[in-house]
Structure 1
């Protein structure tokens, strides 16, 4: 669609190379004739500066060095209306009156032409847009709404709508589309760039929206709060990849009862600031803060935690390296049931590399799932006994000092008894030692066969029979010093039996389920060029 000059600031555009951008400035540039567009590219690698030329600032960019100047050109595509994009994707004109037509499958020299019957009937069904429940117009250059009433008459039953990577310039345009979709519940707007909201939005535009995705939109938290107050039914929100460095303090704006907030891959490194800023979100159950550079979880200094309602927390791939962070986490999230910690540095400290899961389980008494693997009642008991045994062997100081350093010590002693009281003193192993088994691990270059037995270097691993295969795989990775990139599909585990080998490929079961006991032989192969 062509726009009359002057093109307004905030207009989105597309060029033939596939790049998208936003016009941030329209006017002259010192030292050159004519009109220029100052633009910010969605892909910052295409930019040359941040809106400053020869010492003068013409515009600002959300991402450093994502800007450049271009000349007005007919090659700039300013997008299409919602219904034009919908028709282009979901409607195909019939090929004539005959119900037979030739269809070509494949391409180039391998193309095959066949005669098909009834394709016009299929197209007829696709043309019945009233039946559409899920619509995906990802990267279809949607930039405008349509004449009021047209969208409602065309596709009134849409429940889910994906408008990612389009040319939508503002929330007013989005509202102009959604107000025509009275059944809409899921709205995906990833990789768009919106102007800050200026004014009110129609009361019915977002009244049934339950799920909203705003990943890689570069929206600020304040801009999000301005918009979300029009979404009273909202429960699930994604705000990943938005370069967020902080969340502003409380706002007087209405806050819906959001259950799920996802901040994956931002820069929210200040735990206290994030938690305090979420105090308005009283119904929050799931919080994702993976890959945000969080280094420490400080003690709770408030009388009541602002995120005490959180039951599921993702802290994967942060920079936590102190086990006391988990003790303090229980203060902040006293109802925590599910936790993701993979990719932190906790397991590398205090000699706990092989037992980090047991230690984490014991420190958080409410935990039911850790790193995607369920915590059984038996695993919890084993983990708590290990915790007591480890502390009694490695801690010095009096009882008061131990309790201060290990907040779960008293509760677990009351539950299981103190190690010196509950466990035999001399001549016998304690309970946790009795529970540990030694698995003989051999690494081989190829899958083992029935003639292959104890070859290669032996690496004994002490572990609990209740250890899940997924956790045992991580223990193997560390014990054999495999690269951290070695994932599940690369590391194969084979149990040696009398009549051959069986692969341990079901990560949901524990070692005892496969019959692994003290002295069992396990062979490991790594499907990687890096041996």
Structure 2
């Protein structure tokens, strides 16, 4: 493998940042990171070797004609582009002026005509006042190619009252640049940074005021690992909601002394190994956890016997495990050990498709997890729970009797195997009494099934109305002027 020639023609080099390698660029609507600057023989002139966020934009792994110029995470995630085709972005203040001040100027520069009369723009002074940059509390600069903060302290003078900042899909290359922006926003509570690629800071606490009030942080699709998140976590001492879906998180380590204020955590669409979730089970305030599309297939809380509650996830109320590989009811039995769980979403799992009747699967879920108030977005009414639990008792009554169960409480000793498979059965017998012999057969859950079908039909009608209204609005907005 030959060593690449890094000679750079001075005429082309002058139009590049001195530290171009590692910078973020945009080209034809795609974003990437510069990994190489130099010549690529036999062609003349300077090239940028770019690793693209979207590997489909690339062509190779950083090699050309046997020479390896740079390295990519994806075998076809890189390509070479001419410097003149790449944008290195603009500073925050330039983006603000383009996004907000120009909008106001355009509005004020327009003449409004009705029929043949020009209408005086009464009240637009109030609109202008509201739109003034210094009054903004929500700043949306998504896909605006922001790459740097701009002149020192100017952000504090320009947008001092920002509560929510959206910088998704921009060209910031490191957390230091982000902190240089946010430390000038002393009231900032929500920060959207999804679809960026940010280097971990060498000293996360060097700017303690940068995120001193931050409560909500979105880092979807940022190519982050869990250790990298933990390295950054000291920057967010008061963080309550963290959205980290579509990253490179495979294993989870225990967050020691960080993330202790989290109430919401989204880890969906990360290739987690089974059992990884247990590492975050001691987060004391976590109420809402999204583990959808993580490959989850097994779960065990070994600190609690069947029918008992685990000490893990003490505050967890809502759990989403959609589109996973759950195929055993034992996983649902483990969820019953969660002491605060009241909302569960587990759509698109093999476990549910095994049941010929979707209503039966829903009933089994309700019966096995005793405190559910909502399942797969449907409210579990008291009559639904009663019907599900009674049918569950009848459905497994023969198995209960065969395992040593008995209607006489003095002789009721079901096997450990049955208790493991049906940890709530004994408590349900105490609640409703043992089923009679004539009831020991599988029951079709007509009531719940009919309710679900009715609600599904109502939802379908609502969706149809929504689509119709959206099409009508789109047609009106795009209609030619009369």
Fold conserved between structures, TM > 0.5 = yes
Q: Note if 1:364 corresponds to 2:366.
A: no
Deviations 1:179-221 (A, max 9, x none): 0111110000111111232234410000100000011111111
Q: Note if 1:213 corresponds to 2:236.
A: no
Following the alignment from structure 2 to structure 1, what is the Cα–Cα distance between the partners of residues 131 and 430? Answer: 69
Following the alignment from structure 1 to structure 2, what is the Cα–Cα distance between the partners of residues 384 and 87? Answer: 61
Mapping of residues 249-268 of structure 1, within 5 Å: 249-250=253-254, 252=256, 254-268=258-272
Mapping of residues 422-501 of structure 1, within 5 Å: 425-426=437-438, 462-465=444-447, 469-470=451-452, 488-489=460-461
> Which residue of the partner structure matches residue 85 of structure 1?
95
Following the alignment from structure 1 to structure 2, what is the Cα–Cα distance between the partners of residues 71 and 18? Answer: 15
> Which residue of the partner structure matches residue 425 of structure 2?
409
Gaps of 5+ in 2: 1-13, 305-309, 405-413, 465-482
Following the alignment from structure 1 to structure 2, what is the Cα–Cα distance between the partners of residues 382 and 490? Answer: 28
What SS does structure 2 have at the residue aligned with 1:208? coil
* Contact kept in structure 2, 1:385 and 1:432, CA below 8 Å: no
TM-score by length of 2: 0.80
> Which residue of the partner structure matches residue 288 of structure 1?
290
* Contact kept in structure 2, 1:3 and 1:78, CA below 8 Å: no
> Which residue of the partner structure matches residue 385 of structure 1?
390
* Contact kept in structure 2, 1:214 and 1:239, CA below 8 Å: yes
TM-score by length of 1: 0.73
Q: Note if 1:102 corresponds to 2:118.
A: no
Deviations 1:384-418 (A, max 9, x none): 11110011146654321432321111111111111
Q: Cα distance, 1:358 vs. partner?
A: 1.1
Q: Identify which range, 238-247 or 301-310, moves more after superposition.
A: 301-310
> Which residue of the partner structure matches residue 242 of structure 1?
247
Kindly report the root-mean-square deviation, in angstroms, between the aligned alpha carbons of the 2 structures.
3.2
* Contact kept in structure 1, 2:32 and 2:51, CA below 8 Å: yes
Q: 278, 301, 305: which one pairs with 1:275?
A: 278
> Which residue of the partner structure matches residue 199 of structure 1?
203
Q: Per the alignment, do residues 150 and 215 of structure 1 end up closer, same or farther by CA in structure 2, a change over 3 Å counting?
A: same
Mapping of residues 16-55 of structure 1, within 5 Å: 17-29=28-40, 34-55=45-66
Q: Identify which range, 59-68 or 41-50, moves more after superposition.
A: 59-68
* Contact kept in structure 2, 1:473 and 1:491, CA below 8 Å: no
What SS does structure 1 have at the residue aligned with 2:156? helix
Gaps of 5+ in 1: 106-110, 434-461, 477-485, 493-531
Deviations 1:248-270 (A, max 9, x none): x23556334111100122212x3
Following the alignment from structure 2 to structure 1, what is the Cα–Cα distance between the partners of residues 112 and 199? Answer: 45
> Which residue of the partner structure matches residue 145 of structure 1?
149
State the aligned residue count.
433
Deviations 1:24-48 (A, max 9, x none): 2223446655543221112211111
* Contact kept in structure 1, 2:289 and 2:316, CA below 8 Å: yes
* Contact kept in structure 1, 2:136 and 2:159, CA below 8 Å: yes
The structure with the largest helix share of the pair is 2
> Which residue of the partner structure matches residue 21 of structure 2?
9
* Contact kept in structure 1, 2:104 and 2:131, CA below 8 Å: no
Following the alignment from structure 1 to structure 2, what is the Cα–Cα distance between the partners of residues 308 and 123? Answer: 48
Following the alignment from structure 2 to structure 1, what is the Cα–Cα distance between the partners of residues 236 and 17? Answer: 35
Following the alignment from structure 2 to structure 1, what is the Cα–Cα distance between the partners of residues 462 and 123? Answer: 44
Q: Note if 1:328 corresponds to 2:334.
A: yes
Q: 140, 156, 159: which one pairs with 1:155?
A: 159
* Contact kept in structure 2, 1:171 and 1:197, CA below 8 Å: yes
Q: Per the alignment, do residues 412 and 301 of structure 1 end up closer, same or farther by CA in structure 2, a change over 3 Å counting?
A: same
Q: Per the alignment, do residues 318 and 146 of structure 1 end up closer, same or farther by CA in structure 2, a change over 3 Å counting?
A: same
Q: Cα distance, 1:79 vs. partner?
A: 1.0
> Which residue of the partner structure matches residue 301 of structure 1?
302
Following the alignment from structure 2 to structure 1, what is the Cα–Cα distance between the partners of residues 256 and 21? Answer: 30
* Contact kept in structure 2, 1:100 and 1:115, CA below 8 Å: no
Deviations 1:437-465 (A, max 9, x none): xxxxxxxxxxxxxxxxxxxxxxxxx5443
* Contact kept in structure 2, 1:7 and 1:26, CA below 8 Å: no
Q: Per the alignment, do residues 44 and 118 of structure 1 end up closer, same or farther by CA in structure 2, a change over 3 Å counting?
A: farther
Q: Cα distance, 1:130 vs. partner?
A: 2.2
* Contact kept in structure 1, 2:327 and 2:350, CA below 8 Å: yes
Q: 55, 64, 76: which one pairs with 1:65?
A: 76
